[in-house]
Amino acid sequence: MTTLVKLVSEYYVWLIGACILGILFYIGRAVMAHQEKTQALFTLEREVAASGRLRSIGMVFVLSVLAAMFYFTATYLEPNLELQTESEPSPTVLLQPTPTLTPGPPTPTPTPVPTRTPRLTPTPAEATPPPTPTPQPVVLPNCPIAGARLTYPTVNAVLKGPVEVRGSANIDNFDYYKFEFRHEGAPEWSFVRHFENTVVDGVLGVWDTSALPAGAYTFRLVVVMKDGNYPEPCEVEVTIQH
């Protein structure tokens, strides 16, 4: 079922276009049948023309329903279907009780003998400055082509909640681009959503990580051409925390 929904979503523009051409064809057939019925001299000819017109109207209705189904599948059904990914259960850590130490017998305190000490001038202690944290270098993903690249998230970025994804999606014969991710060790990619406008060094969209379990993930940008093919995606390793 998932494979069929993805296939319809990738080619829904062509499928809807074919339905529209079929609708126009059968509308023309219906108009011709109506003219034939009007000009017919015999009852049999009028019945044949009326039957042809009804069949053409029926095909117009069927193709309209199919076009609506293709549009619904691509714009609503596929995004909601792909977001339902399986999450791995987190291991439960059992806390061991901390043993309580029993105090031993009190140690006798010796009586101090007063001694005369010289009066010293106090010297102010020099405060030791706290160590300065070393900034971590920002590493951009190694994207194969400039027309499908990510500038954020960067490599090993720590993400939380909604994340604004930045970069470029602008290649020859552009059709749309989409976000995909997978948990560390997962065999398949999970779909986030797709976009139909080109972007050059700007905001590509938002990836909401609030519902995902914490851990290591691989996020990628896939830019698809009109023929359904796409160049090598731009991938980046990230960490999700809550």
The better pLDDT of the pair 81, 163 is held by 163
Q: Looking at domain 148-240, does it have CATH number 3.40.50.10070?
A: no
**Beta bridge mates, 169:** 148, 199
The SS3 of residue 16 is helix
CA 92 from centre of chain: 29
Could you tell me the sign of the dihedral formed by the alpha carbons of 172, 194, 230, 138, in that order?
Answer: positive
**Beta bridge mates, 88:** none
Reply yes or no on whether the pLDDT at 116 is more than 90.
no
Vertex 240, ends 235 and 242: CA angle to 5°?
A: 165
The model carries a pTM of: 0.45
In the predicted model, what is the mean pLDDT of the chain?
Answer: 82
Is there a contact between 165 and 205 (Cβ–Cβ < 8 Å)? yes
Nearest to 14 by CA among 169, 165, 227: 227
Reply yes or no on whether the pLDDT at 93 is more than 50.
no
The domain locations on the chain are 2-82, 148-240
The better pLDDT of the pair 10, 230 is held by 230
Q: According to the model, what pLDDT value does residue 82 have?
A: 63
